Amino acid sequence: MKEKSKFSVDSKGFYGEYGGAFIPELLYPNVKELEENYLHIMKEEQFQKDFLALLKDYVGRPTPLYFAKRLSSKYGCKIYLKREDLNHTGAHKVNNTIGQILVAQKLGKKRIIAETGAGQHGVATATACALMGLECIVYMGEVDIARQAPNVARMKMLGAKVIAATSGSKTLKDATNEAIRDWINNPTDTYYIIGSVVGPHPYPDMVARFQSVISQEMKQQLLTQTGNELPSCIIACIGGGSNAAGAFYHFLDNEDVELVAVEASGKGIHSGESAATMVLGSDGIIHASKTKLMQTKDGQIIEPYSISAGLDYPGIGPLHAHLGESGRAKFVSATDDEALSAVRELCELEGIIPALESAHALAYLPKTSFNTNDTVVINLSGRGDKDLSTYINAFGYEQ
């Protein structure tokens, strides 16, 4: 993306009418310190060197852009998978935590906090903290702790302290509230690593920049493999929207590239158990950002549902609200069942077990049609190891 594009954040932290920093005064100094420093820290030559070296040697980047031959022949187009599932820790989340831990170090912070839903961002944060020898506290909803035991164990092995969020609905949104409250109570020595393109400015922009390595590599790999750096279409799943932001980023100004964001519609968009924010949501403020969110007519935030714990967030990043409203990105959705079918299909056709989140992106394929010459990139944001118990139940592999 160009430095100043109509999709980049303005000087006050807004994407069109979305974004901003609707923070209590108690957080003003913390957020201001970050806002004033993040861009020049990220642009320092040494920072870039350190960041890229870690992505290469520690995370294992660049991740492959894999031509999925059998999937392509089934859907009659050229399908490429961007293999973020092959990153260390199993998902794209680590691109951001490595970036932010370096920012935290530059700011001289000693104590790191994070929120997590399914535990992927928590594990990626605990990993980065172990790597740098920094104290790590992860807030996780009490309900999520119970249903994501392996990731809780991973975080503990990596030295993180996992604190249960027992307020509200005891899931991701409440874990985020608790992390923000922690930051209010520890304003000087603590750095908050947000895991998605959500929260107050500058987080959505900073996280998108760290994740933009995905589309940067895609461009180069497409050029090498197809002779054209621009695909016809990019498909990504979206909860808060960090993998979608990363996959779209360097193509935002190439309006010929169709961008498709797939939300989780759970048991059906109008079933009352869904996380399809773009369809069900309306404008409002969640976690200090003006965006689309699922709320009652009185402005109380609604707890979303999806089989995928990484997609059941009641808002979306302000960049995505802007992309959706302006028509730049197309928002569609996939149900739990459609995602599960897509999991099976990728296993059987390509020998890859995808994460439930990423399966929502794959689930768009049967719902559309492409031309034979179309190049379609699907961002395979994570691997399915963490979802094994769901798959065992869903596919009847119990003993």
Q: What residues are labeled active site?
A: 93, 115, 381
In the beta sheet, which residues pair with residue 14?
A: 19
Only one of the segments 25-33, 213-221, 241-249, 304-312 lies at the binding site for another protein (rule: CB under 8 A); that segment is 25-33
Name the pairing type of β-strands 233-237 and 289-293.
Answer: unpaired
Which of 297, 372, 397, 399 touches another protein by CB under 8 A?
Answer: 297
In angstroms, what is the minimal distance from the CB of 45 to another protein? 31
In angstroms, what is the minimal distance from the CB of 206 to another protein? 19
Asked if 12 touches another protein (CB under 8 A), the answer is yes
224-253 positions binding another protein, by CB under 8 A? none
Count of residues that interact with another protein, criterion CB under 8 A: 35
| Closer residue to another protein, CB minimum distance, 172 or 362 | 172
64 preceded by a cis bond (ω within 30 of 0): no
| Closer residue to another protein, CB minimum distance, 91 or 302 | 302
Only one of the segments 24-32, 76-84, 88-96, 380-388 lies at the binding site for another protein (rule: CB under 8 A); that segment is 24-32
Q: Strands, DSSP E only, in 142-225?
A: 161-165, 190-193
- According to DSSP, residue 302 is labeled P
Which of 28, 40, 44, 161 touches another protein by CB under 8 A?
Answer: 28
Name the pairing type of β-strands 135-141 and 161-165.
Answer: parallel
Asked if 180 touches another protein (CB under 8 A), the answer is yes
**Calpha distance 331→321 (Å, rounded):** 10
Only one of the segments 61-69, 73-81, 182-190, 245-253 lies at the binding site for another protein (rule: CB under 8 A); that segment is 182-190
Which of 4, 57, 256, 300 touches another protein by CB under 8 A?
Answer: 300
Using alpha carbons, select from 93, 134, 133 the residue that is nearest to residue 116: 93
Whether 61 contacts 55, CB under 8 Å: yes
Q: Strands, DSSP E only, in the chain?
A: 14-15, 18-19, 65-67, 78-83, 111-116, 135-141, 161-165, 190-193, 233-237, 258-266, 282-286, 289-293, 329-335, 375-380
Asked if 165 touches another protein (CB under 8 A), the answer is no
| Closer residue to another protein, CB minimum distance, 185 or 371 | 185
Which of 9, 15, 18, 20 touches another protein by CB under 8 A?
Answer: 20
User: Which amino acid does the sequence have at 319?
Assistant: L
User: Which amino acid does the sequence have at 242?
Assistant: S
Whether 249 contacts 214, CB under 8 Å: yes
Residues binding another protein (CB under 8 A): 12, 20-26, 28-29, 167-168, 173-174, 177, 180-181, 184-188, 282-288, 295, 297-301
